Chain A
Amino acid sequence: MKIKITNGRVLNPAKNFDKQTDIYISDGLVVGIGREPDKFKADTEIDATDKYVFPGIVDLCARPREPGYEYKATIASETSAAASAGITTICCPPDSNPIIDNPTVVEMIGHRAVQANKARVVPIGALTQQLFGEKISEMMALKNAGVVGVGNALKPVKNTLVMRRAMEYAASCDMTVFIFAEDPWLKDDGCANEGAVSTRMGLAGIPEIAETIAVARDLALVAQTGVRAHFCRISSAKAERMIARAQYDGLPVTADVSAHQLHLTDMDIGEFDALYHVHPPLRGMRDKMGLRKGLKLRSINAVCSDHQPHEFDAKVGPFSDTEPGISSLETLLPLVMRLVESGDLSLTEAIASITFEPARILGLPLGKIEENSIADICIYDPTYIWQLNDETMKSEGKNSPFKGWEFEGKVTHTILEGQLVYSM
């Protein structure tokens, strides 16, 4: 299939490229930018006048809920929602059921994604067997099966010696370790940021130090073992400062933040609104601003959706009884674009944080529009105004606190490896 995209504003943050031009796609690759290749005859031509054309989005954390939780969502439903939101690659953590700690599960997920053919699904393998934090997993086998890194999802590796050995082993396999840093004892049974809001509402708190102590421990272990580490879903400004310091000292660490942490605080919980129940918890205004600043300074390299679709019942009940998480594939790009509107990021920085930077963290040759690069492309109309609600949401999970928000700008076409997988 050959596609020609004409007259769009092409943005390739990897090379700081920002120019109105045409793009030629053939056999899954970008074969020309601004210059028509010899004997090119387009099957499809897309007019992108007044639209942006940028790389397909790479989402560092989204749970398609398959295998194991198909009553919430499936790979087919969520990759379809992803395509409609300009996301061409989603990275899923290993805490599905069965857990991704052996090659069979990796192959099964890949197979389902290929069948659905809407977005690429790349798994992270389990760092420890069954995520128990006791025995390290068969990382070599997982790597050969195609995982993009190893991590323990939301489960802690309490034993520091196990964590050290897991990091050493991952380093030997040349794999990145994905760390969700949280001290399980300090977290205890908390469900909201510890502070004035949790105190007023009588909700058990998760203190900021639950995050910073775990970050401090794991940074020390990274320095000791030399492993490449990526800190997932940082929620506090202090943790961002610690990671920035480690990067300055030359440690091979990167970090991401979920889009909702850049827009919401614990104040938004209001009267126990379970849609704002997330993990890590929404923190204070200073954290929100600190995380935005970290993104600007690139101590936080990427923004992810942390997509967690739920069935209706999961969010019905008293706050702490509900399941945490937001169905957020479809708000990733809109919320990042809002940071351009608010002046926190330039357009190039915003797009880099959801394309080129996450691809680099995963070690994948994605997130760019260059000659001979894989043709994952998103076309975006920056003036289209729409509202997020149950009708416009394509994900099976409708659990979003952003319902009712109006956004300016929407994806009109998504191309996955040279194939048009979504058009509005």
Chain B
Amino acid sequence: MSYRHNIQLTSDKKLKHFLSIEGLPRAVLVKILDTAETFASVGEQAVKKVPILRGKTIVNLFFENSTRTRTTFELAAKRLSADVLNLNISVSATSKGESLLDTLSNLEAMQSDMFVVRHAQSGAAHFIAQNSPAHISVINAGDGCHAHPTQAMLDMFTIRKHFEDFYQLKVAIVGDILHSRVARSQIHALTTLGANEVRVIAPKTLIPADIESLGVHVYHDMKEGLHDVDVIIILRLQKERMSGAFLPSMQEYFQAYGLTEEKLSFAKNNAIVMHPGPINRGVEIASSIADGERSVILEQVTNGIAVRMAIMSMAMGSYSANPGVSS
């Protein structure tokens, strides 16, 4: 009923939790990108560590399986000198009937400082942030179909490496928009950072209702949709979408929406190709493009560490007396 305040920010507008791009001011997003820039060099040093979060405990709370995302979060935390605890809850507590709230109380009792959360239900990270004590920061590592904000920020970081600013950019996101938390976060990030145009391209079965209200243009045809774009983001197509009457077959999907040399030629000459991984070669993207010179897919993975370091240190800095690197 009432207009709720944004729980992601402290009263002085500093990052407390990182749950969703939506509702965060542009200045915060730019600061994340700038801070990540200072961390990018850490990975190139002989000793890949900075002491910013020494003595802090970060818990990777993964209710949904993920190796890649969890690993980059772990690496980011370790490079910040934090202690890291990995909990794969999908096979432990909840299968024994323990409620989410009980799991949280137990973890609080272990005196942790930050939860990095991945969960299959939309809104799970918000729920955990709302039900954790004040000293704990929550980072959303993907909740249902809602948001994957760290992925979106590493994508923005990667885009900014290749283009001067966002204002001229036309970006196309291709694939299963309906089920994609990555796409939703990317759309919010791009519109907040001022991208010229954001397009989504997919058959109607994979476009959620009223997506235009997020400020995007909808295309069902790759030739029209990719025309003149600077950035192409290909989404991963989950195999289970083949069984639910969303799509007839992988072959047909690849023919219509898979990124090939021919379709890439509709975009600008210097367009870059992105993918949040892991790639289904020959389903949403041809191998020659995934490994080609326009692909920045591996850069995204590398950048993911620096961006997550930036977000973690900023979120922790907002609470502790020592504002850390973000000041």
For chain B, give the interface size range.
20 to 34
B6: nearest residue on chain A (CB-CB)? A271
Is B108 an interface residue, CB under 8 A from the partner?
no
Those of A186-221 within 8 Å (CB) of chain B: 194-196, 198-205, 207
Q: Say yes or no: is A231 at the interface (Cβ < 8 Å to chain B).
A: no
Given contact pairs A318-B127, A318-B144, A202 touches B210 in the complex (Cβ within 8 A): no
B-side residues, CB < 8 A to A, are 1, 4, 7, 22, 99-101, 119, 121-124, 126-127, 130-131, 143-147, 181, 184, 208-211, 213-214
Which of A199, A268, A271 lies in contact with B209, CB distance below 8 A? A199
Partner of B121, one of A268, A270, A316, A318: A318
* A137 to B239 Cα, complex, angstroms: 42
A272 contacts B123, CB within 8 Å?
A: yes
Do A271 and B7 touch (CB < 8 A)? yes
A203 to B126, CA, bound (A): 13
- The interface residues of chain A, by DSSP majority, are classed as loop
A201 touches B122 (CB 8 A): yes
Asked whether any CB of chain B lies closer than 8 Å to the CB of A321, the reply is yes
**Contact among A202, A205, A317 with B127 in the assembled complex (CB-CB below 8 Å):** A317
Question: Please, which residues of chain B bring their CB within 8 A of the CB of A38?
Answer: none
Smallest CB separation, B3 vs chain A (Å): 9
Task: Please tell me if the beta carbons of A196 and B209 are within 8 angstroms of each other in the complex.
Answer: yes
Instruction: State the CA gap A270–B100 with chains docked (Å).
Output: 21
A180, CB-defined interface residue at 8 Å: no
- Pairwise interchain contact A205-B126, C-beta atoms closer than 8 A: no
Assuming the contacts A272-B126, A317-B127, A318-B123, asked whether A202 and B214 have C-beta atoms less than 8 A apart, the reply is: no
Given contacts A196-B213, A202-B184, contact A268 B122 (CB under 8 A): no
B37 → chain A closest CB, angstroms? 30
Q: Can you pick out 26 interface pairs between chain A and chain B where the beta carbons lie within 8 Å of each other?
A: A196-B209, A196-B214, A198-B208, A198-B209, A199-B208, A199-B210, A200-B184, A202-B122, A264-B1, A271-B4, A271-B126, A272-B123, A316-B101, A317-B99, A317-B100, A317-B121, A317-B127, A318-B121, A318-B127, A318-B144, A319-B122, A320-B123, A320-B144, A321-B100, A321-B121, A401-B1
Across the A-B interface, how many residue pairs have beta carbons closer than 8 Å?
83
Query: Which of under 10, 10 to 19, 20 to 34, or 35 or more describes the interface residues of A?
Result: 20 to 34
CA distance A320 to B4 in the complex (A): 20
A313 within 8 A of partner (CB): yes
Residue of A nearest to B120 (CB): A318
CB distance from A408 to the nearest CB of B (A): 17
Distance between B130 CB and nearest chain A CB, rounded to angstroms: 8
Q: Is the CB of B209 within 8 A of A202?
A: no
- Chain A: minimal CB distance from B127 (Å): 5
A251 vs chain B, min Cβ distance (A): 31
Smallest Cβ-Cβ distance to B177: which chain A residue: A199
B146 in contact with A202 (CB, 8 Å): yes
Chain A hits for B122, CB < 8 A: 201-203, 272, 318-320
Residues of chain B within 8 A of A201, CB atoms compared:
122-123, 146
Instruction: Say how far A74's CB is from chain B's closest CB, in angstroms.
Output: 24
Among the listed B123, B130, B209, which residue makes an inter-chain contact with A205, where contact means beta carbons less than 8 Å apart?
Answer: B209
CA distance A199 to B216 in the complex (A): 13
Asked if residues A199 and B213 are in contact (CB atoms below 8 Å), the reply is yes
- With a cutoff of 8 Å between Cβ atoms, the chain B residues found around residue A320 in the complex are 121-123, 144
A201–B208 CA distance with the chains assembled, in angstroms: 11
Contact status A194-B209, CB under 8 Å: yes
Residues of A within 8 A of B145 (CB): 202-204
B9 shortest CB reach to chain A, Å: 13
Report A32 CB to chain B, min CB distance, Å: 45
Closest chain A residue to B23, Cβ basis:
A271
Tell me how far the C-beta of B112 lies from the nearest C-beta in chain A, rounded to whole angstroms.
Answer: 20
How many angstroms between the C-alpha atoms of A407 and B217 in the bound complex?
Answer: 44
